[in-house]
Amino acid sequence: MSVLRVPGYLWRLVRIGGTMARSGALSRIAAHPGLGRGARWGVRIGAGLLRPFGAKGDPSLPPMARAFTALGPAEVKLGQMLSTRPDVVGTEVSDELRSLQDRVPPFPDEEAEAMVAAELNAPLDTLFTRFDPAIAAASIAQVHRAETPEGRTVAVKVLRPGIERDFLHDIEAFRFVAKVVERVLPSSRRLKPVAVYDHFEQTTRIELDLRLEAAAATEFRQNTADDPHFVVPEIDWSRSSQRVMTSDWIDGTPISDRAALIAQGFDPVVLGTRVIQSFLRQALQDGLFHADMHQGNLLVDRQGRIVALDFGIMGRLDPLTRRFYADILLSFLRRDYERAARVHREAGYLPADQPLDVFAQALRSVAEPIFGLGAKNISMARLLGQLFAVTERFGMETQTQLILLQKTMVMVEGVARDLDPDVNMWKAARPVVEDWMRRNLGPEGVARDLKATVEVLSGLGPRLPEAAERLVMLLDRRTDEAGPFASPAPVVQVKTALWPVVVAGLVGGIMGAGMMMLLVWA
């Protein structure tokens, strides 16, 4: 961050503060019971001074939404992200920010056409025989319907001209603000302004490069190819670039239009269950899930399949986290809190000094009230949310990917509930989770793990004997020295926590290889 830019950031700060003051957002902050008297007056006086420099905004919106909308696209995106973090901004502000609509007037068609031609390096009429006016416009991009010379109807998403520059400027100003706040107000550190900012920057950078969205769509399409009830449009890579993304146009009905779906003969109850099941299966089976599953990004096609659009925000879960997550869900399904606690310990999340039974008791204390609400009111998202609150109390840090999963689950449950107010989340989830557990923890899963281990080991091939020797040397040294936390071994540096995995992997692999050889010989 260059020093020369600081005046620009300061001006941006003044503008942000002024707009927050004019919209009434600052008085809301000043009223926060957590603020001391001095701080409250500080905010009030600051608001008075800054007010003349702020933008007016739309007075019909609630204060926070009004301020963020008036400030620009980067602020709208930031506001939307904060709306998913009640842990950071509090439930009241997050509810208010949820109303932030990312709908803005489209930019002129000629600009979009010029952008497409320049980006794809060809005259527009050789690329598309028809290019309709924008059908949807948001702060980062807009979408046009078009037709290719081969006669395919496609959706063309085009980035707003100059959006990268606008965004990067604001994003840097945010980083500056986050750093200053974290330095001057030590009490703010609990809210991790810089970490929240980093998360924001990471997600927006992906949205500013449509090749990344296209790549996510392609991977997601491959993963879901054998799901007969779920569709991901195919990307036309020959007509996609950093600023343009072309995909198959899907004729469908918005999933929010329950009446139209019923009129077409689809059963909303079945659709609701499918939304939940597809989402869970994707998260568990492939570890890749759509993390922006609100109604605006879901259609139902003419065959009644659920269509997902908009792959700017995707979540990933590594295999260990998936196993942990499935096991936790199943333990909760069976209301087996001892098992849920043990899974936390085995995954290495529950610190060794925390007693298992006390942790199980805490889990029971937050889960039972939710179960007490009766089958159709049980929310898995809420249960997970409560679980994270407990784990935090026991000194565990919740993984960002699991938080993202839980936030998405809130959206997915909302979509399902709108389709079928009586939907029973547990009933929908249970077969998916049990099936996954059976296939991954049963004999089939063990065989697959062994095969994978053998593959890795055979890839190491000629290096294996040396690796084994080093391992033994290292283990010897470890036992000779003061203990497991003695200075890092000079030979190979591996985190202490990885040791059991490495050893188990090697032993398992060698056993597996032996078994395979026996099978081949027999």
Full DSSP string of 196-242: HHHHHHHHHHHHT-HHHHHHHHHHHHHHTTT-TTEE-PPB-GGG--S
Measured from the CB of residue 138, what is the shortest distance to Mg ion in angstroms? 7
**Angle at alpha carbon of residue 473, lines to 471 and 478, rounded to 5°:** 95
Rg of the chain in Å (alpha carbons): 27
Shortest Cβ distance from residue 213 to ligand ADP (Å)?
Answer: 8
Q: Which does 385 bind (CB under 5 to 8 A by kind): Mg ion, ligand ADP, none?
A: none
Rounded to the nearest whole angstrom, what is the least distance from the CB of residue 145 to ligand ADP in the complex?
A: 7
Is the CB of residue 200 less than 8 Å from the CB of residue 78? yes
Nearer to Mg ion, 297 or 440 (CB): 297
Query: According to the binding rule CB under 5 A, does residue 213 interact with Mg ion?
Result: no
Contact partner at residue 312 from ligand ADP, Mg ion, none, CB < 5 to 8 Å by partner kind: ligand ADP
CB of 160 to ligand ADP, least distance (A): 10
Using CB distances below 5 to 8 A depending on partner kind, what does residue 61 bind out of ligand ADP, Mg ion, none? none
When asked if residue 207 is in the footprint of Mg ion (CB under 5 A), the reply is: no
Residue 432: closest CA among 276, 302, 303: 276
Residues forming contacts to ligand ADP in the complex (CB under 6 A) are: 135-136, 138, 141, 143, 155, 157, 233, 247-250, 296-297, 309-310, 312
- Nearest Cα neighbor of 485 from 501, 496, 500 is 496
> Among residues 50 and 309, whose Cβ is nearest to ligand ADP?
309
Name the nearest CA neighbour of 310 among 208, 164, 157, 202.
157
Least distance CB 141 / ligand ADP (angstroms): 5
Closer CB to Mg ion, residue 310 or residue 327?
310
Give the contacts of 266 (CB within 8 A, at least 6 positions apart): 300, 304
**Smaller CB separation from ligand ADP, 300 or 367:** 300
At 136 the three-state DSSP class reads strand
The DSSP letter of residue 442 is S
CB-nearer residue toward Mg ion: 142 or 282: 142
CB of 313 to ligand ADP, least distance (A): 9
Q: Number of residues interacting with Mg ion: please give it, by CB under 5 A.
A: 2
Which partner, Mg ion, ligand ADP, none, binds residue 250 by CB below 5 to 8 Å per kind? ligand ADP
Instruction: Work out which of 170, 236, 310, 420 binds Mg ion, going by CB under 5 A.
Output: 310
Closest CB to Mg ion among residues 313, 341 = 313
Q: Contact 231/135 with Cβ under 8 angstroms?
A: no
Residue sitting closest to Mg ion (CB):
310
The residue among 41, 38, 45 whose CA lies nearest residue 17 is: 45
Torsional class of 395: left (φ above 0), alpha (ψ -120 to 50), beta (otherwise): left
Instruction: State the binding partner of 141 from Mg ion, ligand ADP, none, CB within 5 to 8 A by kind.
Output: ligand ADP
| CA dist., res. 61 & res. 99, Å (int) | 9
Residues facing residue 137 across a β-bridge: 142
Query: Is there binding between residue 297 and Mg ion (CB under 5 A)?
Result: yes
Q: Which span (45-53, 108-116, 308-316, 406-414) binds Mg ion, by CB under 5 A?
A: 308-316
Question: In the complex, what is the shortest distance from the CB of residue 283 to ligand ADP, in angstroms, rounded to a whole number?
Answer: 20
User: Quick check: is 292 catalytic?
Assistant: yes
Based on the number of CB atoms within 10 Å of its own CB, is 434 exposed (0-12), middle (13-18) or buried (19 or more)? middle
Q: Which is nearer to ligand ADP, 175 or 221 (CB)?
A: 221
Q: Given 236, 292, 327, 420, which residue is catalytic?
A: 292
Would you name the residues annotated as active-site residues?
292
- Per CB under 5 A, residues contacting Mg ion are 297, 310
